[in-house]
Amino acid sequence: MLRCLEVQQFALVEQLQLEFDEGLNLLTGETGSGKSILVDALSLLLGEKAHATMIRTGSEKAVVTGLFQLSEPAGLRSRLDAAGLNQAGDELVIKREIALSGKGRAFVNDQLVSVGFLKEIARYLADIHGQNEQQTLAQSDSQLAFVDTLADVDPLAAEVRVRHEAWQAVLQQMAFLRNSAQERLRNIDWLRFQLDEIDKVRLKDPEEDLSLAAEQALLANADRLFQVSNQAYAALYEDENSAAATLKQAQRQIEELRRMDPRCAALFDQLQSARIAVDDVALSMREYASHVEANPKRLEWIEGRLAEFQRLKRKYGNTVKEILAFRERAARDLTSLLASNENLAQLEKDRLTAAGRYREAAQRLSEKRKLAARVLEKTVAKELAQLAMQRCRFQVAFAEAGPESQADQGQPAPWETASGLDQVEFLLSPNAGEDLKPLVKIASGGEVSRIMLALKSVRTLDGCGKCLVFDEVDAGIGGQTADVVGQKLKRLSQKDQVICVTHLPQIASYADRHYLIEKRVERGRTLTRVALLQHEARVQEIARMISGERKTESVVKHAAEMLKASSR
């Protein structure tokens, strides 16, 4: 459950701190006041993508911090332990920073983590249900993922995916080897030509091009190197006014000073060290000059060798190392082509084995999905009954597999995919006597909202006692339906903490804690402020939600009666 949410320099929020409690926490306010900003901030703590545009104008960074209280932290604790994060007690602090540079950081209990890790642990902390999910869950892939979540088949689904990839890999190898005989011979000739062209250059050292380029630079500048090193030697030691001669003369003068003033002894020693250093450098320059050798033949050979490298690089890689890697791949492909007949026989066996292993795992996955689907149908029916849709029928339909004639024993049929054998579709009949239709074709916005709430309620029945966030799930409804949705949210909040953004007074009246979101202009800047409303302030806010700014005495009285009725 979310205990505290602190937001700094985020969108229209300069700084605010919200403390939430158990039960139903409602956020209301005028359109555009920033209600969804707080949901967006919470989404960041759950690993959603951040953008620099989220930072408040004039600020360098935005910071969102959340304090979560864990009711059953065993599953989360194992994830934290696996990541090397120690979790003591039942409180968890998550912090997310967004910088203008585009770089951000995430922390769990003050330890740096990846955003991906936040997504991994999000399932233990909160579920956010927004309006956009009505479109997402209308898609077949999302519906299948929904069933998989309820069936708890993640390990088996991963196994099916891996086995499908192995099957496809065998098929790709076979396709490569099954080129026409003419194409196969062309490939063999071409690979042999490439290998011969590379082998003629006799490449051995992956770094040879670098070492030869360095040697080429020395040989090409041999005359200048000899001249400069001799000039340096002369300036340091050989010339009449060399550094060594000058230092020797200075040393004699300081020797005379030392005899007259013992305090100059240290200066004499320092100068002696300098003379020794200069002599050493001068001798090194003479030694260097003696080894500088102009070798036109060696230079010509190196340039020719580098030209061969450059020719190969234009075809096979940017470095000798890459050329050698290309040669290794070409040799492997040539060996495979030359042995294609033998390989094809073995691959045919591998294909049948891979297909059998995939189908065995996929069948097990399909059976688990169908069991979970039957449970889902019954549970959703109960949820819809609580939402005044007692006559609504809900069914999870599985697409029928095609005839056996469409499936080769070793080739995947169209329905044999990396996600398994199944395609599902949620079908609904909102009213008695009507045919079941796909969820996406349900016309009534109110019906869609209640159905989505029922589905989301089912998905959250996992006993984790986490935070459920509903961002205007009441879109498209009103009147008695809105009151029914409010009752449902209230019942949900008896088991899980619920945070709901709403614009309907019927729902707001059921709140255990009611927050008002307001947008104000202070010192020329637009700010979002949040206030926890007590009884009288709640009456006024619900009255505003009923009639807008034209609040009459009868409207205020009606608002008070709504609060009183919802508290029973």
Instruction: Give residue-wise pLDDT tens across range 7-19.
Output: 999 988 888 889 9
562 has pLDDT over 60: yes
Distance CA 385, CA 270 (A): 98
Does the pLDDT at position 194 exceed 80?
Answer: yes
Find, among 510, 504, 515, the residue nearest to 544 by Cα: 504
The whole-angstrom separation of Cα 329 and Cα 316 is 11
pLDDT of res. 337: 78
User: What is the C-alpha separation between 164 and 212, in angstroms, rounded?
Assistant: 49
Q: What is the mean pLDDT of residues 182-192?
A: 84
Task: Round the average pLDDT of the chain to a whole number and report it.
Answer: 84
| Sequential DSSP letters for 232-299 | HHIIIIISTT-HHHHHHHHHHHHHHHHHH-GGGHHHHHHHHHHHHHHHHHHHHHHHHHHH----HHHH
Fold of 1-125+466-531: Rossmann fold (3.40.50)
From the list 548, 541, 15, 549, the residue with the least C-alpha distance to 560 is: 541
Cα separation of the two ends of the chain = 25
The whole-number average pLDDT for the span 342-367 is: 89
How far, in Å, are 1, 122, 248 from residue 76 at the CA level? Answer: 13, 9, 78
Q: How confident is the model at residue 132 (pLDDT cuts 50, 70, 90)?
A: low
The answer on pLDDT for 6 being more than 80 is yes
Classify strands 111-113 and 104-108 as parallel, antiparallel or unpaired.
antiparallel
- Tokens 């090409």 appear where? 220
Given a cut of 60, whether residue 557 has pLDDT beyond it is yes
Q: Is residue 285 over pLDDT 80? A: yes
pLDDT(165) > 70: yes
| Residue 405 reports pLDDT greater than 60 | no
> Which structure tokens are listed for 160?
């099916």
Predicted structure pTM score: 0.58
Show me where the domains of the chain are located: 1-125+466-531, 208-316, 534-568
Contact 559, 543 (CB under 8 A): yes
| Residues forming a β-bridge with 568 | none
Is the model's pLDDT at 461 over the cut of 70? Answer: no
Least confident of 141-150, 194-203, 424-433, 464-473: 464-473
Average pLDDT over residues 397-404: 74
Which stretch of 64-73, 106-115, 126-135, 314-323 has the lowest confidence by average pLDDT?
126-135
Distance CA 384, CA 320 (A): 68
**Region of residue 524 (phi > 0: left; psi between -120 and 50: alpha; otherwise: beta):** left
More confident residue, 520 or 133: 520
pLDDT (mean) for 386-410: 74
**HEC profile of 87-132:** CCCCEEEEEEEEECCCCEEEEECCEEECHHHHHHHHCCCEEEEECC
Q: Where are the alpha helices (DSSP H) in 109-238?
A: 115-122, 133-136, 140-151, 154-177, 181-199, 208-220, 222-233
**Inter-residue contact 85 to 120 (CB < 8 Å):** no
Report pLDDT for 38: 87
Is residue 532 over pLDDT 80?
A: yes
Alpha carbons 140 and 153: distance in angstroms, whole number: 18
pLDDT at 237 over 70: yes
Q: Return the pLDDT at 95.
A: 95
Q: Which whole number is the average pLDDT over 517-536?
A: 86
Q: Which residue has the tokens 């005839």?
A: 403
For residues 178-189, give the mean pLDDT.
Answer: 76
- Averaged pLDDT, 494-504: 88
Tell me phi and psi for residue 298, to 5 degrees.
-65, -40
